[in-house]
Amino acid sequence: MGIVVESVSKSFSGTFALKDVSVSIEDGQFVTFLGPLGAGKTTLLRIMCGIDRPDSGRIYYDGQDVTDVAVQKRPVAMVYQQFVNYPSMTLYENIASPLRVSRRKYSKGEIEKRVHESADLLGIRQILGHYPEEVSGGQKQRAAIARALTKDAKFIFLDEPLANLDYKLREELRGELKEILRRKGGVVVYATPEAVDALSMASHVGYIENGQLWQYGALKHVYRYPQFKEVGRYFSYPTMNILPGTVEKYAKGAALVLSDDLRVDVSRIADQLDQEVYQVGIRAYNISTSKEHAEMVPFQAEVELSEELGSDTELHVRHNGQTLVVLLQEFARHEIGQKVTLYLDSTRLFLFHPHTNEL
Ligand code: ADP
Ligand code: MG
């Protein structure tokens, strides 16, 4: 039970917007498709919910091939980035509209009950009598989400639903959406360029770039085992540093040479190293100013920038001609130009194949 996307491709004027995308989503999962602008997220959602047809490939809902089934006949609801509200209707009428046009006839009482239920969930019961222009952007988007929920669609698609909201509203709705959507069951498919949306809400994530699904899996798994540096970067706050690392094998093991001053023993994975050079990823918070355990490897660096962010400090340091970002979980003042000894957690390195861009 759930949604299966099988080898879906779609081109616009000869250019691939989606290329051979396959993914299998089970009931109860909250899936976030992440990727930069133009990656193909919207195209994938439109095809999954039936607004658009793929050039090739199939879509299955609960084991049934629905590729040729019109969107109106599918158990779906979609929330868009732009607030879609009918300006001449009150929020009540906006939220009720999918029920009124549904093939299933809803009684007046049933419509009222459903509209009130979803308005309560989104906290907009008191303003149902207002017109869209009379309420704030956040309230409009809440109404758009409530509208998607009234129909009891089994599959809900949200395309950057928080994109047009300010920071504070985004934070607030993000927390609420997770609860509301998880409680509904079914499947939630959510597209966003914001990793934080995925990290705070999703059970599963897919990373899309250039129309291809680079990696898909449980959030924890993708976070822990990014296969590509782009994925690692996306799933790191504030970033993942990427440095070239040369493998030096010797009789009893191997070392990864990141610079003259920075060598990491990688003997425990020596037999898995089939490249001479890797792109080595290290998350900003896996570098520290103190040696927290025996696998922390020291190196020298010069402070280029120091930013105190409440209880954290973000440092940009220069090492071997490259800038590294370091997130210290402490409030610490550093002078620009100051020499510092830092410690890299060698148990938290990611080795990326150097040619992964040519997927
Ligand atoms: P995203 O939602 O990740 O930003 P889209 O799915 O909107 O990406 O777009 C993927 C690619 O397909 C882009 O290069 C975009 O320009 C192109 N594209 C999307 N929709 C159309 C369309 N209707 N006509 C022409 N090109 C399109
Ligand atoms: Mg889009």
Q: What are the DSSP calls for 185-235, one per residue?
A: -SEEEEEES-HHHHHHH-SEEEEEETTEEEEEEEHHHHHHS-SSHHHHHHT
**Residue 357 domain-assigned?**
no
Q: How many Å lie between the centroid of ligand 1 and the Cα of residue 40?
A: 6
Of 233, 256, 272, the one marking the end of a domain is 233
- Among 278, 242, 281, residue whose Cα is nearest residue 354: 278
CATH of the domain at 63: 3.40.50.300
Using the 3D structure, point to which of 233, 254, 284 is the last residue of a domain: 233
For residue 32, report the distance from its CA to the centre of ligand 1, in Å.
18
- Cα-to-centroid distance, 39 and ligand 2 (Å): 8
348 within a domain of the structure (yes/no): yes
Give the Cα separation of 179 and 31 in Å (integer): 14
pLDDT in tens, the chain (359 residues): 999 999 999 999 999 999 999 999 999 999 999 999 999 999 999 999 999 999 999 999 999 999 999 998 999 999 988 777 889 999 999 999 999 988 788 999 999 999 999 999 888 999 999 999 999 988 998 999 999 888 878 999 999 998 888 888 888 888 888 888 877 778 999 999 988 888 888 999 999 999 999 999 999 999 999 999 999 999 998 899 999 999 999 988 999 999 999 999 999 999 999 999 999 999 999 999 999 999 999 999 999 999 998 889 999 999 999 999 999 998 888 999 999 999 999 999 999 987 654 43
Same domain, 210 and 133: yes
**Upper half-sphere CA count for residue 165 (Cβ side, 13 Å):** 22
Same domain, 75 and 207: yes
CB 25 within 8 A of CB 2: yes
Are 152 and 257 in a shared domain? no
Which secondary structure element, helix H or strand E, spans residue 232, and what is its range?
helix 229-234
The domain of 267 spans: 240-352
Domain count across the chain: 2
181 within a domain of the structure (yes/no)? yes
Which sign, positive or negative, has the C-alpha torsion 189, 192, 198, 201?
Answer: negative
Report the CATH number at residue 281: 2.40.50.140
272 and 198 co-located in one domain: no
Residues 26 and 90 in one domain: yes
217 and 70 housed in the same domain: yes
The first and second tokens of residue 231, run together, are 């994925």
Query: Which residue's alpha carbon is nearest to atom 11 within ligand 1?
Result: 17
The string of pLDDT tens digits covering residues 66-105 is: 999 999 899 999 998 877 788 999 999 999 999 998 878 8
Examine the domain organization and report whether 183 and 329 are in the same domain.
no
Same domain? For 166 and 279 the reply is: no
Q: Are residues 217 and 296 in the same domain?
A: no
- The tokens for 190 are 């959510």
Q: 148 lies in a domain? A: yes
Do 347 and 320 fall within a single domain?
yes
Provide the residue type at 289 as one letter.
T
Amino acid at 188: V
**Quick one: pLDDT at residue 355?**
64
In this prediction, the answer to ipTM > 0.85 reads yes
Residue 8 domain-assigned (yes or no): yes
Task: Report the C-alpha gap between 332 and 154 in whole angstroms.
Answer: 50
> 358 lies in a domain?
no
Angle subtended at Cα 305 by Cα 302 and Cα 306, rounded to the nearest 5 degrees: 105
Q: What is the pLDDT of residues 266-291, one digit of tens each?
A: 999 999 999 999 999 999 999 999 99
Domain match, 154 and 195 both? yes
Ligand 1 atom nearest 193 alpha carbon: 3
Cα 264 to Cα 65: distance, rounded to the nearest angstrom: 52
Q: Compute the distance between CA of residue 156 and CA of residue 190 in angstroms, rounded to an integer.
A: 8
Task: Give the whole-angstrom CA distance, residue 8 versus residue 47.
Answer: 9
131 with 264, same domain? Answer: no
Among 233, 256, 279, give the residue marking a domain's end: 233
40 lines ligand 1 (CB under 6 A): yes
Residue 180 lies in a domain: yes
284 CA distance to ligand 1 middle (Å):
33
For ligand 1, mutation pick of 42, 210, 212 (most atoms within 8 Å of CB): 42
17 lines ligand 1 (CB under 6 A): yes
- 139's enclosing H/E stretch is helix 137-150
The answer to the question of residue 195 being in a domain is yes
User: Residue 34 and residue 209: Cα distance in Å, rounded?
Assistant: 9
